[in-house]
Amino acid sequence: MSKNKLVIFLILLALIAIAVVVIKSVYFSSDHDEQQFYSMDTIIDIKVWGENSKSVTQSIIQEVNRLSTIFDDYSQSSEVYKINSHAGVDPVIVSQETSEIFQIAKSYYYKTNGAFNVMISPIARLWGFKGGEFRVPTEEKINEALELTDISDLEISGDTVFLKKKGEAVDLGGIAKGYALDKIYEILKMSKAKSALINFGGSVLTYGTPDGGVWKIGVKNPRGEGVSGILKITGDKFISTSGDYERFFIQDGTRYCHIFDPSTGLPAKKIVSVTVVGDKGYLTDILSTAFFVLGKENSIKLSENMGVEILGFDNELEFFATKWSSENFEKR
Ligand code: ADP
Ligand code: MG
């Protein structure tokens, strides 16, 4: 081989080597994709394994951003903002999804004996959880705000939603993340993804089977660093946790959290955290909020009728759980 030919040969060899590396990296990146982004007032972590994983994660991000523009009660262009600003004035024409989520929300007011109330917003606002400063309101103010939380004032009819009294307001904070996970689940089922793990600000969807066969979901320690244990999950499940340790303030030694007991207008304080495992995102999200209000005994009782499993920690940090949960929870 002449010197020139050798040089050309070596260049070709180098080009082939580069091509192989590129092909390999393209292959790997389409087999697994991870994205983290901020929407709906929280951080969302997406991990997808399988063919076209990158386009699957992109579809998920688009879908969450779309839902956020409809449901975000802080954004003036959202349907929820419009419903609240038209309270006591006139019904608002909404999308099929908004009508559906309010129908679900209203029906679970009755199914949870009033513990889940999507009209809690005036109370949350009064305590400073909707912007402004945290404060402990007077009893009089609390009673005034409670007057604006009557669920029968939420009228859903065809494609309109109407709040009958001025000052009333709805807040999807206790259901929207779970509902969004249901939409993500639909995307995954239509895709070629093999498995996925979505963490939507503490509400989790496990999809398919991971390496090793079991998903290991950490449940946060409600009073300290790290996790209190690991929940072992197989297949497609929704896991939602509500606790008093994410958003709260402490005044004169008392902790006031962001989940309210709709019967008193005070922050719920029967337990410190509860985790719900089930087959629908909206259901586990609603129920974790409702069970946090209802406390240990009532939640265990209600969970049986609702077809979900639960575990949690009471105010003494004592563990409680349904049978399935205690068998599948590894304490740390
Ligand atoms: P997080 O959103 O912190 O994960 P949750 O799913 O329990 O926790 O939802 C809490 C949110 O739900 C609050 O920030 C508030 O917007 C709303 N909320 C508070 N109390 C209630 C209640 N009793 N019923 C329905 N929604 C509630
Ligand atoms: Mg919830």
pLDDT tens over the chain, length 332 residues: 444 544 444 444 444 443 333 333 334 445 899 999 999 999 999 999 999 999 999 999 999 999 999 999 989 999 999 999 999 999 999 999 999 999 999 999 999 999 999 999 999 999 999 988 999 999 999 999 999 999 999 999 999 999 999 999 999 999 999 999 999 999 999 999 999 999 999 899 999 998 889 999 999 999 989 999 999 999 999 999 999 998 999 999 999 999 999 999 999 999 999 999 999 999 999 999 999 999 999 999 999 999 999 999 999 999 999 999 999 999 98
CA of residue 200 to ligand 2 center, whole Å: 11
Q: How far is CA 132 from CA 83, 126, 129, 168, 276, in A?
A: 22, 9, 7, 18, 31
Evaluate whether 290 touches 274 at the Cβ level (below 8 Å).
no
CA of residue 278 to ligand 2 center, whole Å: 13
User: Using the 8-state DSSP alphabet, how is residue 201 labeled?
Assistant: T
How far apart are alpha carbons 324 and 243 in whole angstroms?
Answer: 21
CB 288 less than 6 A from any atom of ligand 1: yes
The per-residue pLDDT for 147 is: 98
CB 243 less than 6 A from any atom of ligand 1: no
Q: How far is CA 296 from CA 195, 212, 263, 316, in A?
A: 33, 33, 17, 12
Q: Could you tell which of 200, 259, 264 is best to mutate to test the pocket of ligand 1, judged by most ligand atoms within 8 Å of the CB? A: 259
Q: Which residues contact 128 (CB under 8 A, 6 or more apart)?
A: 134, 135, 249
The per-residue pLDDT for 48 is: 97
Looking at the DSSP assignment, which residues form a beta bridge with residue 230? 218, 330
Q: Which atom of ligand 1 is closest in space to residue 289's alpha carbon?
A: 7
The per-residue pLDDT for 132 is: 82
Q: Which atom of ligand 1 is closest in space to residue 203's alpha carbon?
A: 4
CB 42 less than 6 A from any atom of ligand 1: no
Residue with tokens 């399935």: 324
At 275, list the tokens.
Answer: 């985790």
The per-residue pLDDT for 25 is: 36
How far apart are alpha carbons 322 and 61 in whole angstroms?
Answer: 34
The per-residue pLDDT for 288 is: 98
The per-residue pLDDT for 106 is: 98
How far apart are alpha carbons 167 and 135 in whole angstroms?
Answer: 20
Q: Compute the chain's Rg from CA coordinates.
A: 24
Residue with tokens 């029906």: 107
At 235, list the tokens.
Answer: 């297949």
Enumerate domains of the chain plus CATH numbers: 74-170 (1.10.3980.10), 214-331 (3.10.520.10)
Q: Whose CA is closest to 129, among 101, 164, 162, 169? A: 169
Helix, strand, or coil here: 227? Answer: strand
CB 293 less than 6 A from any atom of ligand 1: yes
How far apart are alpha carbons 311 and 290 in whole angstroms?
Answer: 14
How far apart are alpha carbons 304 and 77 in whole angstroms?
Answer: 40
Evaluate whether 317 touches 243 at the Cβ level (below 8 Å).
no
DSSP E strand boundaries for 98-180: 154-157, 160-163
**Helices of type H across 72-120:** 79-85, 96-111
The per-residue pLDDT for 171 is: 95
User: Using the 8-state DSSP alphabet, how is residue 268 labeled?
Assistant: P
